[in-house]
Amino acid sequence: MSTYTEDNRKVTTHRLSEMKSRGEKISMLTAYDYSMATLIDQAGMDVILVGDSASNVMAGNTTTLPMTLDQMIYHGQSVVRAVKRALVVVDMPFGTYQGNSIEALASAVRIMKETGADAVKMEGGEEIRESVSRILSAGIPVMGHLGLTPQSINKFGTYAVRAKEESEAQQLIKDAHMLEQLGCFAIVLEKIPAKLAARVAEEVSVPIIGIGAGGGVDGQVLVVHDMLGINKNFSPRFLRRYADLNTIMTNAIKQYIDDVKTRDFPNESEQY
């Protein structure tokens, strides 16, 4: 299996831009804790996203909305402690940037100061322009996020594919250009038609990272618990499962219970 781990230099926003220029695809995966982030970084991932999907996969909530700034900072600190090579991006949680750009900057500054991450990610287009602009002018790299933006689930009412209608597709293209012009270093496109995503990647100079957005973009992101098969109940069409950790972990845990009950564990060599 070939990987890109031979290059141990720290991944920067500049290097991501170079990767787009030479047509090298960008790999991105979520992580929320030290142990998982260590594995992912050592495997050679380009970007690690401390996603607010922590709300779903770590905390068991049905949406990302309950996530607080303190919780994102805790996860961000745990991941940054582990990572030597990947670029670490921390999601700004719902309610910390949508209303007031001064508060948005204060939230982003806390994330950068308290976690040591490399960048923040924000969901939305025109409606968050002022917050994105203020954060960028403070020298904080911003990754945009358009298409299905889970923090707006109550407005959408569904997790279905976005921007199938022409008017929404046109708005998305406009928003992507706007984020590029403001100075975002990359944009995530979530769950939109592959043709539209490829068009954005073609037109916009910054790297476009897709999740459920097809193969015509500059990189891919998945939620680590989903791609490792830890979650059994989430199987959208875009998800490829690279392992069945649910079965492996359940069997191991059952075996441990059995060994304790039958007094097989601990044996002579497992005690002092």
Residue numbers of the site for ligand KIV (CB under 6 A)?
30, 49, 51-53, 91, 188, 190, 211, 221, 223
Show the tokens assigned to 21: 């220029």
Q: Which of 24, 130, 180, 190 is catalytic?
A: 190
Q: Which residue has the tokens 């069945």?
A: 244
Looking at the Cβ atoms of 30 and 98, the one nearer to ligand KIV is 30
Least distance between ligand KIV and beta carbon 90 (Å): 10
Sign of CA dihedral 178, 181, 183, 186: positive
Cα angle 203-190-80, degrees, rounded to a multiple of 5: 100
**Residue 190 annotated in active site:** yes
Assess contact for 221 and 239: CB atoms under 8 A.
no
Least distance between ligand KIV and beta carbon 151 (Å): 9
Measured between alpha carbons, how far is 185 from 170 in angstroms, rounded to an integer?
Answer: 21
Contacts of 204 (CB under 8 A, 6+ apart): 176, 177, 180, 187
Least distance between ligand KIV and beta carbon 180 (Å): 18
Looking at the Cβ atoms of 112 and 150, the one nearer to ligand KIV is 150
Looking at the Cβ atoms of 101 and 151, the one nearer to ligand KIV is 151
Residue number of the CB atom closest to ligand KIV:
51
Contacts of 23 (CB under 8 A, 6+ apart): none
Looking at the Cβ atoms of 9 and 158, the one nearer to ligand KIV is 158
Least distance between ligand KIV and beta carbon 123 (Å): 8
Catalytic residue set: 190
